[in-house]
Amino acid sequence: MAYSTLPSELHLLIAEFLAESPDSEDAFNALARTNRTFYMQYNPFLYRYHVASHSKQPPAPAFHWSAKNGRHDTLVRLLDAGAEPYHPRIWQEKPMSTGWTGLRPLHPARLAAEKGHVRFLEAIFDWEQEDPGSAGSFGSRLGKRGYSVLFAGAALNNHLPVVQMLLARGVDPWGKNTLFLSQGVRLQKFSSELLQVLLDDARHREHLQPFTNWEPVHMALRYAVEQAQDIEATRIILTTGVNVNFLYSDDPMIVVRRPLHYCHQPDLYRLLLEAGADPNIDNNDRWGALSSAVGNCHMQAGRYPISAEAKGRRWERIQLLFRYGADPARAGGGWALHGALRDADYGLADLLADKGARISVVELSDADQARLHRAVEEREWDTVMELTPVNWSMEGYAGPGLMKDACNRTFPDCEYWANDVSATDTCAELETYFDATVAELHAWNPSLLEDYCVLIEGWSYCVEGPAVTVTAAASTTTNTAIPVVIFTEVTDFVNSTILAAATATSASATTVTTTSTAIYSGGVPSPTQSGLVGTCNAYYYVIHFLSS
């Protein structure tokens, strides 16, 4: 009797028997393709077998395959066969310390959103366990955070249909996680249509009002003009009516910045000015639109020659500002003029002086200030530079005025400053670049910790000043029977092997040499700290922000 003529019950019994073989799945697949009858009989069994064989480490490979390729029909069969979308490996059931539950990174729903598969997502949202005690459909269990994760994943991959489907289902993506908007603009991930849809939705949300001062949209505007330099994205953002004079920071320890200050391209400059950017809003003869347009107010200013192309763009920006009513006395004309002179751009300096730019240095005597004004009027630029501190037009200038508390953290007789320090700059880099010693940096910068050199982003640091006398530290020799305790500071671990290799060891020597320099005073736990064992000989010092 032919196998195909056997009753279907015998086919299934044979299938159950063959299922005990670890290689039976391939055999079943081959048999199911023999004819339509076998396909209808064995296909449901194959799904159940596939899910069961991967129950210990879900999701089953077919679950991921269906998400990646958008096969919602395969998804339905897998769910009917017992595929578990709530397994702890892909689903967080109990609230974590942050309070969230739901999708883990490996969940197929996240992959489907990132791939743009609308029908797959709709199928899994509407799926509900047959168990009467279930908590509802998958979509009802996602929660706001789950939907926000899917929304951001779809948006950052420019999948407009998924975004529109989620919005139609009532998803509000503008909760705690709104960084995807500015990041998408910065990385140019959004099409013009998608960006318009996102902004239109945000603009009509009551909890985001007043929308014109909503910070995420202003961060998107900043990245559009500063990093992406995207004219179309800038135009779309401006049509929403955002405050084009938005103040990104009012911290007195750093210079204030507005959209115009981040802009470098003349075409984008023109867009901002046409939208109402006010070049005189800062009302300051040092920091403002003009000084920002000159663009050399950072720590490397003057150390590298500016190209002819950059000078051309700068000239065009300055001309635009004057065309839109820039007043040097209110738009940073003093810094702009001095910055042009530092770059030896005398044509630009002549233009700024012709428009009324003046340099006023409060440290100068009345006689020297009068002499400085005459030098500007008569275009005696060498005299101007002789009378003005070289760092006067840099962001970290420590004189009275813009940097309110600068005198409390800087050296009064500093001759040169490192300005615009970023989060990644280090003291070692300052030493190398400016040929300064650790002792000099500490002497010229009282704000630096006595025993540990840490730079603060946005601050300025003196890198050239009066000579510093370094006294050699006296050493003493002490005899003791107690093992030496060694503190090991580890700033970066690549893996656990490196961590194990970096552990400190106790020294058995009885001679200890000490100096007058303290080591991490107040920061490193002592052997008598509460909670430590008394027999410990080695300590690991955890640096701030170092995650275990």
Are 482 and 459 contained in the same domain?
no
**How far is Cα of residue 272 from the mean position of the Cα atoms in its chain?**
25
Q: Which residues of the chain have pLDDT under 70?
A: 1-42, 95-101, 130-135, 249-256, 296-305, 395-413, 419-420, 423, 447, 449-452, 457-458, 470-548
Please check whether residues 452 and 414 belong to one and the same domain. yes
For the chain, give the number of residues: 548
pLDDT 10s digits, 260-289: 988 989 999 999 999 999 999 999 998 899
Last residue of a domain, one of 434, 464, 494: 464
Domain boundary among 464, 494, 528: 464
Domain boundary among 464, 499, 533: 464
Q: Indicate if 415 and 453 belong to the same structural domain.
A: yes
pLDDT computed for residue 237 by the predictor: 97
User: In whole angstroms, what is the distance from residue 537 CA to residue 506 CA?
Assistant: 5
Q: Say which amino acid occupies 409.
A: R
Q: Are residues 448 and 498 in the same domain?
A: no
Q: Containing H/E element for 80?
A: helix 72-80
In sequence order, the 6+-apart residues with CB closer than 8 A to the CB of 195 are 184, 185, 233, 236, 237
Give the domain range for residue 483.
478-548
Q: Which residue has the tokens 């330099």?
A: 229
Residue 297 resides in a domain: no
**How many angstroms separate the Cα of 439 from the Cα of each of 186, 433, 434, 448?**
41, 16, 14, 11
433 within some domain:
yes
**Which DSSP helix (H) or strand (E) runs through 226?**
helix 215-226
Does residue 324 form part of some domain? no
Number of structural domains in the chain: 2
Q: How many CB atoms lie within 10 A of CB 40?
A: 11
Whether 386 is in a domain gets the answer no
Strand 486-489 to strand 538-541: parallel, antiparallel, or no bridges (unpaired)?
Answer: parallel
Q: Is residue 534 assigned to a domain? A: yes
The pLDDT, as a whole number, for residue 302 is 46
Same domain, 482 and 508: yes
Contacts of residue 271, defined as CB under 8 A and 6 or more positions apart, other chains included, come to 231, 234, 235, 238
Gap between the Cα atoms of 398 and 406, Å rounded: 5
Q: Is residue 120 part of a domain?
A: no
> Do 452 and 484 have their domain in common?
no
Q: Both 450 and 501 in a single domain?
A: no
Using CA atoms, how far residue 524 sits from 314, 447, 539, in Å, is: 50, 20, 9
pLDDT for residue 105: 87
pLDDT at residue number 230: 95
- Does residue 287 contact residue 336 with C-beta atoms inside 8 Å? no
Q: Residue 319 domain-assigned? A: no
Q: Which residues contact 85 (CB under 8 A, 6 or more apart)?
A: 59, 79, 91, 107, 108, 109, 124, 127, 138
Task: For residue 446, tell me if it sits in a domain.
Answer: yes
